[in-house]
Structure 1
Amino acid sequence: MPKLLQDFSIPAVFAGFITFLIGISVSAVLVIQAAQILGASAEQISSWFWALGFGIGLSGFILSWKFKYPVATSWSTAGLALILATGSGYSLYEALGAFFISGLLTALLGFSGIFQKALSYIPQSLTSAMLAGVLLKFGITLFASMQNDWGFILSLLAVYILSKRLSPRYSIVITVIAGLALCPIFLQFHAPILQWSITKPIWMTPTFTWSAFFGLALPLFIINMASQYLPGIAMIKSYGYKPHVNQLIGWTGLTQMLLAPFGCYSVNIAAISAAVSLDDQVHPDPEKRYIAGMSCGFFYILMGIFAATLTGLLLSFPPIFIVALAGIALLGTISHNIALAFYDLAEREAALMTFLFSASGIQFFGIGSAFWGLLFGFVVLMILKFRAKPLPK
């Protein structure tokens, strides 16, 4: 406890909050839609949020505390897209069975060490190019939003740049506070009336069927590996940490499996949102940034306890508020990964193709561009590095 108090910092808590905010803001509504497609009642949907909040929050909080680096966890937006696309063919209880199996497969893959062995063969230039490509849209969207909300965006950028110059450690904290103050001035925003209530978990006995296994469990498992764990682990490594890959994947998979009967469809390592908790704006000392991961977990737990209230509050903010904060918070991470991606001249062309492919946003077989961009770049690198053996004289 004394070390925890010594390492505690306000910027780290704010970084954890922004990580949490980015993680849920884009897809909180999709969670509701996915549950409704499966036939869940209002009480069961609240249970979904309770299970997701506790599963994601506890795993991120404990893993960050245990390993002393930020382990931001989240749900899978790509997984939600899969449920929305195929969920009408299954009952709620068949889907819960698929969530259980997907978590079990994830835990087995993690604790077996297979995933970590595969990662060791991928150059950092390609993983950094993949991450830079995936994050690029956030930076572009930030500046593209000036078309309609130039006053708000320019004011927020001015605050960020000046605070970055005068007080780098607190630049994000100051920017968030400024964003809240600027909302009523530039945007249509009215504070909602909050009704506090504690969410009650509901046990829903899973049903196991072969159709749900092949049609939902396996695709969900593959998509989570490709779109969450692969870039998420790469993100942690890009900041100089040595992630305990087996433990991170194993324990998050086990958490998903245990909470699946309450509606937990995924517990993953965060990819995009995790960048905010890893950046040097959190703390100059990398060994003290784990507080951001613990803070993110704490906010997810709060979401689980007060699911309906907190989700309603966050969704009341104009979308541009979240877009602007996410874009500004990720600027440092985008530049960091671009620098790593194109540092090695011999790998630069393969890294460029990985970057562009990952930034394209296309999908094949329900798997996003991050995975395919990395795979394509790896093939290109192998071809360019291949040297034919000279013919014998």
Structure 2
Amino acid sequence: METTNTRRSFITKSIAGVTGAVAAGILPLSAFAEETKSDLLTIDDSHMFLTKPYLQAPTINGMTIMWLTNLKCLNWVEFGETEKLGTKAQQVINGMMNTHSKINCVSINGLKPGTKYFYKVFSKQIVEFQPYKMTFGETINSEIYSFTTLNPDAEKVSWLVLNDIHDRPKSFEELIKINQDKPYDFVFLNGDMFDYQKDENQVINHLLNPCSFFSTEKPFLFVRGNHETRGQFSRNLYDYYCNYDNREYYSFKMGSVFTIVLDTGEDKLDTHPVYGGAVDFDKYREEQAVWLEEQMQTKAFKKAPFRVVMMHIPHFYSGEDWHGPLECRRLFGPLFDKYKIDLFIAGHTHEYGLYEPNPKHSYHFAIGGGPVTGTRTLTRIEASSKKMNLTMFKDDGSEIGQFNLDAKR
């Protein structure tokens, strides 16, 4: 039986984590919770979505769609170029569909570039799963939403940057409203969305659901801040989003811009007592430095009219004697200069700033503000093949400043 947009369709409750793509072996351990009696239910009002679908990892020919249910289900997406939909996609790993998780992630590939698609997600309750028999219950479905694949020939690409929200969920909508009706391709979350991670409810109530006013039709991309490495649930957090290459540092090209995203880790020594000897960010940053130079040696990076780096902890203007910023400066800073990036965007300091190229760095340097009203910022970037503009706004809508860059390549 199919129920369309029931009153219980999108109710906020705790959930397990969510994963990235559909390749073999990448479902997180948190997705496979031990089955209990509560997972074997009759057809009743307890079958529901916990979030609206949200978009991840956009490409010129694909999109990843994620959503969460409170029960284990057989899940799929129906999509098409009209609201009639007509095509079905599922999460399949080694020939088997994902049926043992409350975490739903479907990557749709083979789409047309720069094309609008409509989609709808479905979850069919699994009442009982025996070796030779599956019993299904109710099928629930979302509303019809839409997304547009990236256009490699687009005249412009644009995105919004938020940072240091720190468990203030209302800030997402309040800040993005400053953009008014200007178009954007995605929202980048540049770390410290939380103070620390304690459980699943926090991730849903302070990130996924607050972003749902845009994330059903515009994707968000994410990189951890130092506060995303803290708390008992911090090691589950990566289950809830899908980055390119299924890792915390990644690169992508949209339009005229080649973007590199780095995961800066913690700001203190790995040996600091607060970590209990359970972290190794020094080695992790060294690993990224090797990868970073490899990315900067690719043809796509060299030929891109604009080169952008985004990461949470800035390597200048931030705790000049703190270990994290100093390690980022040692490992990443020389490569930024050597390979001539154009723009650097960070957060972390809770003090916004725009810095022109100077003897410290050869590129434009932007730092977003903090979580408190009056210091919060929205940053908008727009780039064509010839020009790139960054504008930073305060949370009252007033403009802090701009960078206007001409293409050098």
TM class by smaller structure: under 0.3
Length-normalised TM-score, structure 1: 0.22
More strand by share: 2
Length-normalised TM-score, structure 2: 0.21
Bigger relative contact order (CA 8 A; separation at least 6): 1
